[in-house]
Structure 1
Amino acid sequence: MSAAQDPFSLAGKRVLVTGASSGIGRQIAITCSQMGAEVVITGRNPERLQATATSLQGTGHGAIPADISQQEGIDLLAEQAGVLDGVVHAAGISKLVPFRLINKSHLAEIFDSNTFAPLLLTKGLLAKRRIARHGSILFISALASHSGAIATGAYAASKSALLGAMRTLAIETAKQGIRANCIAPGYVRTPMLDGLAQGGANMEALIARTPLGMGEPEDVAHAAVFYLSDASRHISRHYAFVDGGLSIPLDIHA
């Protein structure tokens, strides 16, 4: 089957990936390039972003260092990213803080990166008409938005907010054929997960509850390719767990 006939191919598509300097965002960018996309990557660390750029396959890619938790970074991307067929909001942060210790500063830090940044960047791209007709907008949420793991109150709330916003966005962009969806990864082998373990989380116990065990960034990247490709052209307002089956027993015991 040629790339033109393959509904999962990203050949001829331009895709912006935020948070591409590490973890899931980095792998999504690499996998999109392997599937034929021209990829525009962004992240706050220029050196790590360049390391991702050197791992991309094909030609026509671009790297734009930017901090999208700041309006200046959002404006920069809206100006320089060009016309896009897909946007993946993979940038985000996580910090373990018990609910009794959260404060406005902590909430602001988490929501600035995990919620306000992707929503305002999407708004900026749409305002500049940077997302092409029949394009795809994909938010990377988290299993915590559903499971509410201990000491993740602010993080879980910030990721849950993406679901409601995505479903409203999908209605408002439907006339342009633009789809909006969410992926909620479970426990995936990334630097962020390593940070949670170092912060005191009992990751071994949590992963032991996952039927298929620890996930890899490629598992999330393959799901992202589906949502970015024409294979999902009739799917919008959708929320998919990529969690090795962990969320099913959570539902049973809720």
Structure 2
Amino acid sequence: MTFPCGSTPFALKGKRVLITGAAGGIGSATARACARLGAELVLTDIRDCSALAEELAPVGAGATAHVCDVRDRAAIDALAEAVGGVDGLVLNAGAIAFDDWDSLEWEDSFHEIIHVNLLAPMQFARAFLPGMRTRGGARIVLVGSVAGWTGGTMSTTGAHYVVSKGGVHAFTRWLARRAAPDVGVNAVAPSATATAMIAGQPSPAVAAQLVPRVASADEIAWPIAFLCSPAASFLSGVVLDINGGAYLR
């Protein structure tokens, strides 16, 4: 692909981008980034994110909000039917738990984390991919974690979270092969990010990073927006590390 002189390959004007977990820190930051690049937004979360849609509607090309429980396959299928085709699918909704596997309820927690972090993105991709194939240049972006590479940088990181994010990385590569060449599939693998999800959790590894601090949500959002854009047209099956040098490979 060549980009004509005067074109802006990082722009999302004319693109519809659906973001799951849009009410959260990285999700809302990604929505703001994509709106600033001109996207029409479809925002989904288990919580009502209509206020965010109203805020961003005049920034980009419009925004709508939909409540969707990503653990409910029927709700995902109904959302896909209602929304129709999208050019960008950001599978950001996630969950974390800090219970140890010696706890009596750990297996229930395991199934919850695996469902939200791994099975739900699979079900979203299954529901939306057929319609995305006909859009031309559509992109899927998943959200993994540095924990999926390292086994966890926080002392409280649970095995279920690590396994779920390692699974996201593997699924990204599988889906890239399944969706090619019609739809580009990539992921990001952030390190500790300043969101409510990890508030108050110890992360001693941060001090040893090349950039010795936690990331802001914006620092994860803008690379996600890039992966949705035409500028990422030759990236496929990539898990982009955004970790301040916490893990080099």
> Which amino acid in structure 2 is aligned with residue 208 of structure 1?
A
CA contact (8 A) 2:21 2:45 kept: yes
Work out the CA distance in 2 between the residues paired with 1:113 and 1:245: 27
CA contact (8 A) 1:9 1:229 kept: yes
TM-score, scaled to structure 1: 0.88
Deviation at 1:191, TM superposition (A): 0.7
Deviation at 1:4, TM superposition (A): 6.7
**Could you tell me which residue of structure 2 aligns to residue 220 of structure 1?**
220
Query: Is 2:21 the counterpart of 1:22?
Result: no
CA contact (8 A) 2:99 2:106 kept: no
Aligned partner of 1:74 among 76, 80, 89: 76
Q: Secondary structure of the residue that 1:175 maps to in structure 2?
A: coil
Q: How many residues align?
A: 238
Q: Secondary structure of the residue that 2:23 maps to in structure 1?
A: coil
**Could you tell me which residue of structure 2 aligns to residue 141 of structure 1?**
144
**Cα deviation code 1:93-115 (max 9, x no counterpart):** 10112233374311111011101
Structure 2: runs of 5+ lacking an equivalent: none
Q: Secondary structure of the residue that 2:117 maps to in structure 1?
A: helix
RMSD: 1.8
CA contact (8 A) 1:210 1:245 kept: yes
CA contact (8 A) 2:50 2:64 kept: no
**Cα deviation code 1:140-169 (max 9, x no counterpart):** 111111121244200010111111111111
Work out the CA distance in 2 between the residues paired with 1:59 and 1:171: 31
Work out the CA distance in 1 between the residues paired with 2:126 and 2:107: 25
Moved beyond 6 Å, runs of 4+:
none
Deviation at 1:55, TM superposition (A): 2.8
Work out the CA distance in 2 between the residues paired with 1:50 and 1:218: 20
CA contact (8 A) 1:182 1:240 kept: yes
Cα 1:124–1:4 change in 2 (3 A) is farther
TM-score, scaled to structure 2: 0.90
**Could you tell me which residue of structure 2 aligns to residue 237 of structure 1?**
237
Give % identity: 29
**Could you tell me which residue of structure 2 aligns to residue 171 of structure 1?**
177
Work out the CA distance in 1 between the residues paired with 2:129 and 2:5: 28
CA contact (8 A) 1:82 1:130 kept: no
